[in-house]
Amino acid sequence: MDRDDLLPGYGEPRPEPPQAPPDTRGRGRRIAHISSQILIRFLVLALFYTVTGATGSLMSDGAPTERGTALADECDYVGPLSISGLGWWWSCDATITWPDGSTQQQPFQFSFLTPENYTTPQPVVRHELDNRGSNIVVDEPTPYAALGWALFIPLIGMVLTGIQVPGLPRGYPGREQRRRERLHVWPPAVLAAGWWLVIAGGLGHGHLTTLTYLPITTIVIGHGVLAIGASMAVTRRQNQYPDREVPTSVGNRARRANALLILGTLGLLAALSTDETARGTLALTAFPLIALGFGLRGHLVSTRIRRLTERSEEGEVRDG
């Protein structure tokens, strides 16, 4: 490995960066941090409730035992934060009529009933939930139920780990120092890749005629990538960056980036050449787009390291 290809100062203790002004807010800062984390977890829980409800991921739970029709009695347009979660939705109280002539009152959230159902009956179905009673839902397809189930674990994980919103630290004049400080909070590339895999797999589930196992595989791998990203984020919050630079070869990094770009391009072309539906094609492009993204990132990082090397060499020439 050519030493000239390495990040300046690798293997040596990193010089201490200029320190930000001391934070004298003390207890007030801790209270603000705790309050923000409570608020964030509340919003994530609301998002979790919205996703599971709006996608209908719980509507297929249980065995259908009885069908009827529902007419809306009263509808309200609610939002942005309501019993229907986040967003703006129709929330309707309805009267359900069963085949034997009996009636039942039932609320419906997430715009499953709208003011149109004042006069137009909406088919509904009762699902028996083993020993947990029954669930009455509208009797219609739920094309996004798989997406709701795919997002179930990641959203619960967000509630447990919390989210630390990155920001620019005070007192750091250098762009490189600000960049490293932001990356102490969360690793954007890893988390973005994980979320993309989960969403692409969830949307593509049930929409492939070949490689039908691919969406589930994509979702599972996406969960794993998100777990790795969350672990990295928590570790960085606790330990910050190591005090020594890791040896980094610009040449090797560029070669890996080129390989990823080639593989991603070939995979993307192959996915787009199929006769699958749009959502099926989305699942096929999940991994090729990840390869393209990390390939582009590799080139950006290589360029940054090369510029740092050039600046270091220029500084040595001036000092000499």
Looking at the structure, tell me whether residues 92 and 214 fall in a common domain. no
pLDDT of the residue at 59:
78
Looking at the structure, tell me whether residues 95 and 216 fall in a common domain. no
Domain with 169 in it: 3-13+145-319
Looking at the structure, tell me whether residues 174 and 313 fall in a common domain. yes
**d(C-alpha 113, C-alpha 72), whole Å:** 7
pLDDT of the residue at 94:
94
Looking at the structure, tell me whether residues 283 and 201 fall in a common domain. yes
pLDDT of the residue at 124:
94
**d(C-alpha 267, C-alpha 294), whole Å:** 14
Query: Which residue, 138, 171, 191, sits at the end of a domain?
Result: 138
Question: pLDDT (tens digit, 0 to 9) for every residue of the chain, 320 residues total?
Answer: 444 444 444 444 445 554 545 555 556 667 877 787 788 888 888 898 899 888 888 777 777 889 999 999 999 999 898 888 889 999 999 999 999 889 999 999 999 999 999 999 999 998 887 766 778 889 888 889 899 999 999 998 888 877 765 544 444 445 555 555 555 555 678 888 999 999 999 999 989 988 899 999 999 999 999 998 888 777 766 665 554 445 556 667 788 888 999 999 999 999 999 999 999 999 999 999 999 998 888 888 777 777 766 666 665 556 55
Cα torsion at 316, 245, 249, 318 (round to 10°)? -10
Looking at the structure, tell me whether residues 82 and 169 fall in a common domain. no
Q: What is the DSSP letter of 72?
A: E
Looking at the structure, tell me whether residues 162 and 95 fall in a common domain. no
pLDDT of the residue at 82:
85
pLDDT of the residue at 248:
58
pLDDT of the residue at 2:
45
**d(C-alpha 67, C-alpha 104), whole Å:** 13
**Cis amide linkage into residue 154, ω under 30° from 0:** no
Number of domains the chain is built from: 2
**d(C-alpha 152, C-alpha 111), whole Å:** 21
pLDDT of the residue at 315:
59
pLDDT of the residue at 32:
75
